[in-house]
Amino acid sequence: MDLSTVSRENIEHMVEAIKEKLRMVNAGAVRAENFNTDMYEELRDIYEHVMKRETFSISEMQAITEELGTLIKK
């Protein structure tokens, strides 16, 4: 998948992959449609960070979730 292209499909892929990797308990709260394309680069940065790690502490997971929350369109 070419994530250099801004698209709804890529946003959906990244959000779903992040949720799966973090094993998010409340995954329904983070939905791809809540992210707009203006924040694509920031979302991709988070995605790349999450994908290169094997494990996360609770505080790291919380920080990532909070960062995702700042990207959600209001």
Collapsing DSSP states into helix, strand and coil, what is residue 72?
Answer: strand
pLDDT score for 24: 74
- What gap in Å lies between CA 64 and CA 60, rounded to an integer? 6
Q: Residue 42: how many CB atoms within 10 A of its CB?
A: 14
Q: Residues 48-71: pLDDT tens digits? A: 999 999 999 999 998 998 999 899
Tokens linked to 55: 């494990």
Using an 8 Å Cβ cutoff, are 71 and 35 in contact? yes
Q: Over the stretch 4-33, which tens digit does the pLDDT of each residue have?
A: 999 999 999 999 999 999 887 666 678 899
